[in-house]
């Protein structure tokens, strides 16, 4: 739970444009009840409300220029109108006077009223603007929502000390399910957030072995570690610390292993490789066989009846100097 209040850190001119550097709190309930368009409009209006604007004359075109720094397609204009209408319909903001269809005199004072104990997530206004002004052609409303979903996964436990609210390490499957996006779509939004240096991600391809409740060894992936880009040093420190503390038995780099196994299968069919590659294939096959043997023996000690492993043949490498036997 975020317990500190919203603060306008600075208001400064940058290139003749007023830049608002703020921390904006979003109630958790709104993340799930507002549309993605309304959520973006909510953040925009709230940034004004906590900058001591309680009433404002605004149009969809004004918001469009503020977010994008340029005029956009009509579809973006319609999404802004949709988001504003939803906030009005839900009494989050209210109309004082309607000048035209798109130009309204609004009361936004209710946006700064929230319970101190309400569960909220924070987003900084510069992060918000970076998403919309990115040159990536993806849906920016969706990208913003995906970013907020990742922020939701940051650990809130006080036991985390300096890492509290700073670090996330949930699986990509969990985050994608939370956001509702397909993995390919989510991957594009993640790339945008990394490219714009909004989010810092430590990507892992390594796996580790863990014994399940049946005593059978399972291969599991290390999850990625996430933080805001400004907290990347803290993210690196946490990632290293956790892996040292857990003392997981790293099995292998999964991508490299798969590649070498595939090369082994092609080698059997007659494909030729240089000596360095052949030695790498041979060593991987030794490790592959060793893992299967260990899993088989552990299952036996648990009183299970596992199938006898189908080991890969290493005698194919017998003519080479690096051959060490079957081990």
Mean per-residue pLDDT over the chain, rounded: 84
pLDDT, tens digit, 9 for 90 and up, residues 270-313: 999 999 999 999 988 998 888 788 778 877 776 777 788 889 99
- Give residue for tokens 């992936």: 221
| The CATH number of the domain covering residues in 134-247 | 1.10.10
- pLDDT surpasses 60 at 251: no
> Percent of the chain, pLDDT > 70?
82
Residue 270 and residue 292: Cα distance in Å, rounded? 26
DSSP notation for 264-311: HHHHHTT----HHHHHHHHHHHHHHHHHHHHHHHHHHHTT--PPPP-P
Find out whether 196 and 131 touch, Cβ atoms under 8 Å: yes
pLDDT, tens digit, 9 for 90 and up, residues 4-36: 345 433 344 444 444 454 889 898 889 999 999
What are the residue boundaries of the structural domains of the chain, listed by start?
Answer: 8-133, 134-247, 253-317
Strand order in the sheet with 55-59: 55-59, 103-107, 94-98
The residues that bridge with 58 in the sheet, in sequence order, are: 104
Three-state secondary structure call for residue 227 = strand
Does residue 241 or residue 55 have the better pLDDT?
A: 55
Q: Which of 11-25, 80-94, 137-151, 206-220 has the lowest mean pLDDT?
A: 11-25
Residue 296 and residue 215: Cα distance in Å, rounded? 10
pLDDT at 159: 76
pLDDT band at 241 (very low <50, low <70, confident <90, very high): confident
Three-state secondary structure call for residue 43 = helix
Cβ neighbour number for residue 34 with a 10 Å cutoff: 21
């Amino acid at each position: 739970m975020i317990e500190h209040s919203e603060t306008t850190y600075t208001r400064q001119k940058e290139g003749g444009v007023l830049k608002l550097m703020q921390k904006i709190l979003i109630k958790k309930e709104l993340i799930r009840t507002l549309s993605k368009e309304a959520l973006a409009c909510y953040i925009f209006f709230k940034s004004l409300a906590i900058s001591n604007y309680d009433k404002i004359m605004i149009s969809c075109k004004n918001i469009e220029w503020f977010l994008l720094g340029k005029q956009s397609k009509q579809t973006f204009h319609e999404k802004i109108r949709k988001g504003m209408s939803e906030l009005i319909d839900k009494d989050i903001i209210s109309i004082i006077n309607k000048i035209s269809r798109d130009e309204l005199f609004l009361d936004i004072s209710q946006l700064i009223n929230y319970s101190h104990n309400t569960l909220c997530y924070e987003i900084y206004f510069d992060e918000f603007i970076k998403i919309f002004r990115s040159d990536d052609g993806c849906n920016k409303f969706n990208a913003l929502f995906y970013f907020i979903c990742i922020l939701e996964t940051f650990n809130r436990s006080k036991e985390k000390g300096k890492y509290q609210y700073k670090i996330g390490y949930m699986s990509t499957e969990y985050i994608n399910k939370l956001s509702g996006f397909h993995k390919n779509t989510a991957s594009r939004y993640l790339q945008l957030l990394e490219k714009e240096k909004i989010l810092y991600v430590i990507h892992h391809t390594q796996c580790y072995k863990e014994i399940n409740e049946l005593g059978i060894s399972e291969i599991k992936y290390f999850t990625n570690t996430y933080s805001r880009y400004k907290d990347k040093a803290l993210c690196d420190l946490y990632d290293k610390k956790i892996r040292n503390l857990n003392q997981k038995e790293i099995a292998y780099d999964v991508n490299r292993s798969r590649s070498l196994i595939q090369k082994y299968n092609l080698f059997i069919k007659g494909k030729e490789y240089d000596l360095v590659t052949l030695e790498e294939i041979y060593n991987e096959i030794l490790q592959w066989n060793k893992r299967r043997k260990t899993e088989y023996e552990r299952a036996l000690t648990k009183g299970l009846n596992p199938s006898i492993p189908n080991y890969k043949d290493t005698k194919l490498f017998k003519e080479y100097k690096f051959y060490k036997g079957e081990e």
